[in-house]
Amino acid sequence: AEQFKMQEALEILGIKPINDGSSTGSEWFSNGELIESYSPVDGQLIGKVRTTTKEDYERVMEKATTAFKTFRAMPAPQRGEIVRQFGNKLRELKEPLGKLVSYEMGKSLQEGYGEVQEMIDICDFAVGLSRQLNGQVIPSERPGHVMREQWHPIGVVGIISAFNFPVAVWSWNTALAWICGDVCVWKASEKAPLCSVACQNIIADILKANGLPEGISCIVNGDYRVGEMITSDTRIPLVSATGSTRMGRIVGAKVAERFGKSLLELGGNNAIIITPTADLKVVVPGAVFGAVGTCGQRCTSTRRLIIHESVYDKVRDAIVGAYGQIKLGNPLDEKNHVGPLIDTDAVNTYLAAIEKAKAEGGKVLVEGGVLTGEGYESGCYVKPAIIEAENHFEIVQHETFAPILYLMKYNGEVENAIDIQNGVAQGLSSSIMTNSMKEAEKFLSFAGSDCGIANVNIGTSGAEIGGAFGGEKETGGGRESGSDAWKVYMRRQTNTVNYSDQLPLAQGIKFDL
Ligand code: NAD
């Protein structure tokens, strides 16, 4: 019965056995080889997507650059109206799209729906913002002059996304880019390509209904080779790339080489500091959801717990106890907390990380391992593991995109815990569990957490769209979603206007002719 419901969802979303754009009369139709998308949930083939060739890419860019000329001329609040319609359509399609996310990527159904909800939320945010792309008026030092700052659309925005948030990351970028007057070319992860086809089908219908060119939203499909078409393309002034630090290092350099801008959202190595006054009622669900939610495949997943030695045993026992309650299995079944990893390569990386941690002296508190037998045929289901470790272990210094939680102790003052928390190359999300106002404020101060996200008494994972999202150091420095993140999708222009009859120069310079 579940299979039938999934089939129904695929039909509603316009997913065909082979997706090349032609069946929907789409302008992005592609002619390359086929990518097969298998579900990590049950190992079944969901559908195939045709990849984008160099010629297909040129056609897409032609459509995108032409559409930009139309779109940038449309008043921003009218562009907001398109995003409003898109958000409403997502409300209607929340169930089928959430199901597809869960089935193709493997996250729990609740998290699949949550991801679509994030899309809806960013649309609402963007609609309001479409009337607030305000510049400033700046006092001029010259008489009879006025200075102001304007924000103009930047052009074609390239979006390269990771498999783990196969729809939300795209919408964080597009909802803002569209109200800003930009058009988007999206290369989704080759591990979740059908999610991108579904999203494209939804927005293409809306653009068509409004008499707008489909080039406002384009997809290109394939692996890093198609990504490279975007990163090396001088017609794309901004590349927003989400994925591993390894990818970001290459993409950032490639885009910088041609003086493009990049918005990098890369890996994290997120920690929770647990101080002597921490409330266990908050600590346990916060840490456990952070570590095992999405099977440890969130950029904000909790990787490290830094626990004060005076409460270490109590916290450890409570967390280990809670791991015993976690239900693993088909993520489409709402009673399960944790689904599979994305593929068997990810399973091997997980197994190797556990071995490496042991070899470096880690002590396993909750055993990992691969689940076998009925319901686990895809070979992608693993047990969340807990390992007592030290921060300097090489494996702890790296992000392993799987449910492995490292426990470590600190002693003395909170500053010692902050040093450990900051003692990794990544800088995405962090939190402190404490009832001490002084400890909390120290953690949030200039001398505290060095991450882009720093929380008090909530975990590291699960951000709201209202805030700017992103991290420092090897996480890449980019910010997207809320606050003033929209500014990266626009180009700033400073204007000086002279309404006097004289031509005074700045800094009082005399130039008499
Ligand atoms: P990945 O780096 O393997 O791939 C991400 C995307 O980059 C894919 O679309 C891939 O095809 C493309 N890509 C890879 N090499 C490229 C190249 N040389 N040129 C152009 N494109 C290239 O990452 P993944 O396994 O899909 O996702 C997991 C990673 O993403 C984790 O490290 C996670 O922390 C990170 N992530 C970060 C955020 C964030 O907001 N900071 C959000 C989600 C995921």
Q: What is the tens place of the pLDDT at every residue in 319-362?
A: 999 999 999 999 999 999 999 999 999 999 999 999 999 999 99
Which residues surround ligand 1 with Cβ inside 6 Å? 160-165, 187, 189-190, 223-224, 227-228, 231, 242-244, 247, 250-251, 265-268, 299, 399, 401, 428, 475
Mean pLDDT of the region 209-228: 96
Separation of CA 199 and ligand 1 centre (Å): 19
> What is the band of 281 on the pLDDT scale with cuts at 50, 70, 90?
very high
What is the spatial distance between Cα 102 and Cα 39, in angstroms, rounded to a whole number?
9
Distance CA 363, CA 365 (A): 6
Identify the pLDDT of residue 29: 75
| Residue nearest (by alpha carbon) to ligand 1 atom 26 | 162
Distance 120 CA to ligand 1 centre (A): 23
DSSP string, 61-73: HHHHHHHHHHHTT
Cite the beta strand spans of 288-436 per DSSP E.
Answer: 302-308, 363-366, 385-388, 404-410, 426-427, 429-433
Ligand 1 pocket test, pick from 37, 57, 107, 164 with the greatest ligand atom count within 8 Å of Cβ, gives: 164
DSSP structural state of residue 497: E
Q: What pLDDT is attached to residue 28? A: 63
- Render 257-316 in DSSP notation, one character per residue: HTT-EEEEE----EEEEE-TT--HHHHHHHHHHHHHGGGG-STT-EEEEEEETTTHHHHH
2 pLDDT higher than 90: no
Cα–Cα distance, 304 to 295 (Å, whole number): 15
Please state whether the predicted TM-score (pTM) of the whole model is above 0.80.
Answer: yes
Q: Residue 503 C-alpha to ligand 1 middle, in angstroms?
A: 53
In this structure, the chain runs to a length of 513
**Residue 512 predicted with pLDDT over 70:** yes
Return the ∠ at Cα 36 (arms to 381 and 46), rounded to 5°: 65
Distance CA 11, CA 217 (A): 21
Angle at which helices 109-129 and 94-105 cross, to 10°: 130
Mean pLDDT of 265-282: 98
pLDDT of residue 181: 98
Give this complex's ipTM: 0.97
C-alpha 171/C-alpha 12 separation (Å) is 20
- What span, in angstroms and rounded, lies between the C-alpha atoms of 435 and 281? 12
> Residue of the nearest CA to atom 42 in ligand 1?
299
| Alpha-carbon gap, residue 265 to 247, rounded angstroms | 10
pLDDT category at 318 given cuts 50, 70, 90 is very high
Beta bridge partners, 271, equal: 304, 430
Atom of ligand 1 nearest to the CA of 267: 34
Residue range 127-151: mean pLDDT, rounded: 97
Q: Predicted confidence band at 25 (pLDDT cuts at 50, 70, 90)? A: low
Q: Which of 228, 247, 302 to mutate to test the pocket of ligand 1 (most atoms within 8 A of CB)?
A: 247
Residue 24: its pLDDT value, please?
63
Alpha carbon of 447 to ligand 1 centroid (Å): 30
What values do phi and psi take at 44, rounded to 5? Answer: -80, 150
Q: Under DSSP, is residue 255 helix (H, G, I), strand (E, B) or coil?
A: helix
pLDDT digits (tens, 9 = 90+) for 175-210: 999 999 999 999 999 999 999 999 999 999 999 999
- Cα(186) to ligand 1 centroid in Å equals 13
Nearest Cα neighbor of 46 from 12, 14, 6 is: 6
CA atoms within 13 A on the CB side of 294: 24
Residues annotated as catalytic (active site), given as ranges:
265
Mean pLDDT across the chain, nearest whole number? Answer: 96
Report pLDDT for 36.
Answer: 97
Q: Using CA atoms of 359, 366, 421, 466 in order, give the dihedral in degrees to the nearest 10.
A: 130
Would you say residue 4 has pLDDT above 70?
no
Report how far apart the first and last C-alpha atoms of the chain are (Å, whole number): 87
pLDDT value for 23: 62
Close Cβ partners of 161 (under 8 Å, ≥ 6 residues apart): 169, 170, 186, 187, 188, 189, 241, 242, 243
pLDDT at 513: 86
Q: Tokens representing 277?
A: 């006054």
What are the CB-based long-range contacts (under 8 Å, 24+) for 64-67?
Answer: 64/156, 64/183, 64/184, 64/185, 64/215, 64/216, 64/218, 65/155, 65/156, 65/183, 65/215, 65/235, 66/213, 66/215, 67/183, 67/212, 67/213, 67/214, 67/215, 67/216
**Is the per-residue pLDDT at 1 higher than 60?**
no
- What sign has the CA pseudo-torsion 337, 342, 343, 347? negative
Ligand 1 atom having least distance to the Cα of 189: 9
| Dihedral Cα 309, 310, 313, 318, nearest 10 deg | -110
- Please identify which residue in the block is written with the tokens 């990527």: 105
